[in-house]
Structures are given as structure tokens and as C-alpha cells.
Chain A
Amino acid sequence: MRILVVEDDSVLADALTHTLRGLGYAVDCLMTGSEADRALADEQYDLVVLDIELPVLDGFEVLRRLRRRKAKVPVLVLTARDSVHDRIHGLDIGADDYLTKPFEMGELVARIRALMRRAQGVVDNEITVGRLAVDVKGRRAFVDGTPLALSARELAVLEVLAARAGRVVSKDAVMRSLYEWDEDVGTNAIEIYVHRIRKKLQDSGVTIRTIRGLGYLMEPASGTVDAA
């Protein structure tokens, strides 16, 4: 995996380069827009981290030229300007994601991973939350490899909660996951399904919290969820 980092602030460029190399990526780092433009024309990269405020040729222009060459490489734009106008402009001319300085390195890494996954068209067929694993394709769920006995509707609810583990899933979203059965599912029915799933997950360490007025949140026992 080869990443091009274009950043003119040497301190930030240094931090980016070292962090990404530490994660096993091959990283090239350039300081100016014109250098970046040339490198992008000649070389193949899997991802570009592009600063907007660059000397000589600004990031927007580099991006515009890149997209004019029909290059599909994902671009993550970095900028200190976070007005909506700038953001829309960046996305309009072909940025895939947008991060405002200063940012947390963890967030940058998570977004780079997400962009690469999207670029490769990889869709995980298995969702894991702690010791719980949901096989989306095979429509089954396991705790420590042991299959759980779930009805199709329970599995659908479990799936939507697991897919967004660590985040709140609104009751609406849960209801929508059951639409494929063409049933008028009431809020009470959802509560019943969640109640049943909770029972079956009792020993898995995975809990489903009810968030007042908002929905449900699934989390592994430790309370922390892997960002990826």
C-alpha cells in the first residue's frame, strides 16, 4: 500500500509520515503542489493525503488536475479552513474525504483505512463485536464459534445493531431492517425482539443498551469498540 502525503508544514508532515510508516504503509512525502502534481502524473499511489494550503500550486488545483487525468486514486483532503464552502468545494472537485486541522491521528488512520477499503470494494461478510460474530452472507451468528439460535427477524435486528456497534441505532432504523418481511412492526415488537436477543446474548459479554428516547446501542463488555 503506497501513500503520498502532500503537506508543507514540516512538523505535521514528519508526524504523518512516521505514523503511516509505523502502520506498514509505504509513504512518500512532498512539500509543494507542483511536485505532487508531477509525482501523481508519473507514479501509482493507493491513496493521497493532500493539504490544501500549499505553496506554488494549491491542493485544490492538484486535485483538479489529478481528476482531469481520470485518476481514481482516493484523496483525503487536509485543511485548516473548515467553512462549509471550502468543504463543498473540495468534495465537488473530487476529494473523497475531508479532515480539518488539527485532527487526532487515530481519526486520520481510521479514515485512511475506510477509504482504502472502499477503493478496493471490500465488503466484510462478517461483523464481529467482542466475542459475537455475525455472518451476514450465511445469515448466522456465533458466540465464540458456537451458533446462536435466532429467528430470522431476531437475526435482522442483531445484524443492524452489530453493524453499527458502539453507535446508537434508532428504533426507526431497527424497524426498517424488518421491512423485508413486509410487516407493520410496532415499537413494542422491536422491544420484544431486543429483549429476546439480550437473553440469548447473556453469556456473550455483548450488551445491548437502551438509550432513552434515541434507540439501542450494542457494545462488547469492555465498553470499548474497535474503531475499524
Chain B
Amino acid sequence: MRERASQLTGRSLRAHLLLWLVPPVVGVIIISSVASYTLALKFATAAYDTGLFDAARSLAQQIRFTPSGAAELNLPRAATEILVSDPYDHIYYRVVTDGHTTVAGRNDVPLPLEPLTHAEPVRFYDAHVAGEPVRVGAYAVFGNTGHAQATVLFAETLVKRDHLSRNLLVTMLLPLISLALVVVAGVGLAVRRALAPLQRLANDVSSRGWNNLSSVGSSGVPEEVRPLTDAFDGLMQRLAAALTAQQRFISEAAHQLRTPMAGLTSQTERALLANDIETIKPALAQLLVSARRVTRLVNQLLTLARAEPGSGAEREFVRVDLSALVQQTCMEWVPEALQKGVDLGYAGPQTPVSIDGDELLLAEMLNNLLDNALRYGANRGGSITVRLTEPPVELSIEDDGPGIPETERARVFERFHRVPGSAPGGCGLGLAIVKEIARAHHAQTYADMPEGGRGAAIRVRFAQDTTKLSRASARPAGSPPAAEEMSPDK
């Protein structure tokens, strides 16, 4: 069924219109033809029948009754000849008396099935004479007794009538058939005329270069197609915006790469000019710093590209135990934190906190959050706390460092944005990556400060529905759902 429906929708407009128009038109033509033909035939038959009646009556006037009541027809042969002569049809007559005795004419012209009466002295009916179909007009002549004393039958073959009915049919059908043809041709023409602007549009779009994202315009386009062109223009605008953003991003990224590359080049030159190992070593150390910076930037750019929608790297989301993932990732960062003299800890449930997600991307998000906190958040001797709460599932990375000024809080997630006065070495992509990955997980990111009122907190709040799903499956068997909803602060 669905296949048939799609076949229908995929068919050309012309076929579609014809499919809907032709059957009803043909139906109307058939019905109206039958109706008018029947009506016309009825009137024509009545006219011819009147002719038959006239002939029968004039014959009847020639009938004389004998005193015994028998009928006689005294008609000169010449008169009879005139009566039965007709250029097209054979005409037969018969005069019957006493109900069955033929007084004159052919005796094989059939009598009416029911005898004629005073009330109905005339009757017409179809019959056969000598194997030929005929129309018979019967006329009764009554004497004093009241019984029909004589019946005059006048029959004629159907040549004239058939001819007339054929003529009627043709005269009526011709205009109707032409109407149908006009409808078909009209639909075809109208569709072609109406769709001509679409062809122009298609030519315009297909001849465009990839970077011509201007509006396709809707002049001359049928009103019904306007939503399509409008939607197309909307898409063009979004594409243009995305393209501009991409170009800006690429040029920004290239500029960001220039600085460490300049460092690499100049330090290498410095090392090559040096003669003794003691001069070379510090240059090489600087070279390594620059190289690591390039590496980090390139890796971040790649991560960002992967986290973006449509990167082609999307995998199916699966159930991820965020609690285990957070603990695991924190453990991996503890040695580096200790090296920097930072106390890194986790505060959250030890039991599973499940969300739908991509484990690798989520781990990447955590890595960037922790890297960010270690670089710019906590000072030596300070602390970082990774907090996981639910519901709703919220991940917070809190430090006790300088904090983020309120005016900067919305901007820290922007690409290449760096908080003024923050430690050097970064390029402002870490939190942009966090935001991008969070967005892929329908999570919101925001920055504020920890409850203590000191330091910075970066929070990722996962969407409510994901939470609900996870709570349903993470709930231990047998525990009532109501009890869990009663204790949101668990």
C-alpha cells in the first residue's frame, strides 16, 4: 500500500491531474449521453408512433360493418399501395375482426397480447414480422356492442428509427468527446505553462558555483511552489552562515598556528647558529615547548571537528555510566595534578549514573575540563573538585583559583576566546570543545562559581529526559520509583 502511495506521489503532475480528472469526466460523459439518448429516443419514437397511429386511423375509417357485425375493408388497391409505400421501411397492415379473423393485409402481424378496450383503443408495441423487428400500432374500432369489432394493425420496420437514433447518438457524443479531449489537452498545457518557471529555477540552481548561496528568488514561480523556494532560500542562508563561520574558524586556527610555528622556526635557527652545546640546549627546550603547543592545538582542532554535528564520526549513543567514567578520568589526571601541587578530588555517587552518550567524546570533554581547570583554575596548593549530582545529571568542575569575571562567563565557551589575564599557552579551544561535546549530548554548559563563593565552576547539565531514562534503568530492582523522586538531594 505504501509503495503504491509513493508511486502516486512520485508521478508527474500531469499524470496526477489526468488521473484525477479523466475518469470523472468520462463518467459524466457516459451518464449524460445515456440519459439524453434515452430521452431523445423517447421523443423520436413518440413522433413516429403518431405517424403509425394516423395511418392506422385512416385505414380504420375505411372499415364498414356488415349488419351481422363483421367488418369489411373496401379499399382500392391504389389506395393501399399509397398507404404501405415508404422510401425506407416496409409497412405491413392487418385488419382483424372477431378477435382473430384477418379481413385484410398480412395475417402474420402479431395482435396485441391484451385485447384493446374502450379505455385504451390505441397501443404501440415491438414485434417481429417475417423475422424482422417492427413497431406495431394497434387501433380498435368499436361498434354499438362495445366490443372491438375490428382491430387495425399497422406495422413498420425500424430503418428510419434506427437511422434517427444513430444520428442522435453521434450528435450528442461528438461535443462530449471533444470536451474530454479539450480537458486532457488543457491539463497538459496548463501544467507545462505552470511548471516552466520551475525549469528556469532548476537551470539557475544547477548552473551556480558552489559558493553562490544567494536567494533563488520566487518571481514567476507559482504560489503553490513558493514554500519550496522559501525553504530553499532559508537553507541557502543557513549554509552561507555556516560557511562563513567555517572560513572564519579556519583562518583563526591558521593564525593560532602561526605563533608556535614562528617559535619553532626562530628557535631552530638559533640552535643552528650556536656553536656550543650549552647554547643549543635552551633553544631546543624552547623548540619543544613550541612543538607541544602546535601538537595540542592540532589535537584540539581535530577533537572539535569530530565533536561537531555532521563530522561523520558520530556513533550510536549507548548507555554510559558517567560516574565510572568521571572517576576513571579523574584518576588518570591525579598524577599531573599532584605534580602541579593541586589536590584533585571527586565528589559524587559511587553508584552508576547512566546517560545516553558517546563514551570517547565524554572522556574527551572531561579531559578538556580538567586540563582547563589545571591550567587556569587552581594554583599550586589549591584544589579541584569534580562534582557529579543528580537529578538532573550535572557535572561540575570546581576550583579555588582566581575565578571567572561575571562579564566573561558567557564568553569562555566561545572558540578562541581567552579570558584576559589568564595563564599563557592556551588558544581558547578547550571549553569550546566542552560545549560542542555537551551540545552533542543535549547538555547545557555554563560557568559560575562554587558554593563557597571563591574560584570558578564549569558546569555541564544533561537534559532532563536523558536523566529520567537513566534513572529508570539505573534503579536497583525492586525499589519504587516514587521513593527516588521524593529524595532529589540524594
Query: A residues within 8 Å of B by Cβ?
Result: 82-84, 102, 166-168, 170, 209, 211-215, 217, 219, 223, 225
Contact = CB atoms under 8 A, between A and B. Distances in A.
Contacts of B295: 102
A168 B332 CA distance: 7
Contacts of B315: 84
Contacts, number: 51
Given A84-B315, A217-B338, A212 B331 contact: no
14 contacts: A84-B360, A102-B298, A166-B335, A167-B334, A168-B330, A211-B331, A212-B344, A213-B330, A213-B347, A214-B345, A214-B346, A217-B338, A223-B338, A223-B339
Contacts of B104: none
B338 A219 contact: yes
B331 A168 contact: yes
A170 B327 contact: yes
Contacts of B385: 212
Interface residues of B, number: 24
A214 B327 contact: yes
A214 B343 CA distance: 12
Given A83-B313, A84-B315, A102-B291, A214 B338 contact: no
Say whether chain B's binding surface is mostly helix, strand, loop, or mixed. helix
Say whether chain A's binding surface is mostly helix, strand, loop, or mixed. loop
A144 B30 CA distance: 114
Interface string B80-118: 000000000000000000000000000000000000000
A213 B334 contact: no
B345 A212 contact: yes
A102 B264 CA distance: 15
A83 B312 CA distance: 11
B352 interface: no
Interface of B: 291, 295, 298, 302, 306, 313, 315, 327, 330-332, 334-335, 338-339, 343-348, 360, 385-386
A167 B331 contact: yes
A72 to B, nearest CB: 30
B435 to A, nearest CB: 22
A174 to B, nearest CB: 13
Contact of B335 (A167, A170, A213): A167
B339 A170 contact: no
Given A84-B360, A102-B291, A170-B327, A214 B313 contact: no
Given A83-B313, A102-B291, A167-B331, 19 more contacts: A84-B315, A102-B298, A168-B330, A168-B331, A168-B335, A209-B338, A211-B334, A211-B344, A213-B327, A213-B330, A213-B345, A213-B346, A213-B347, A213-B348, A213-B386, A214-B330, A214-B334, A217-B335, A223-B339
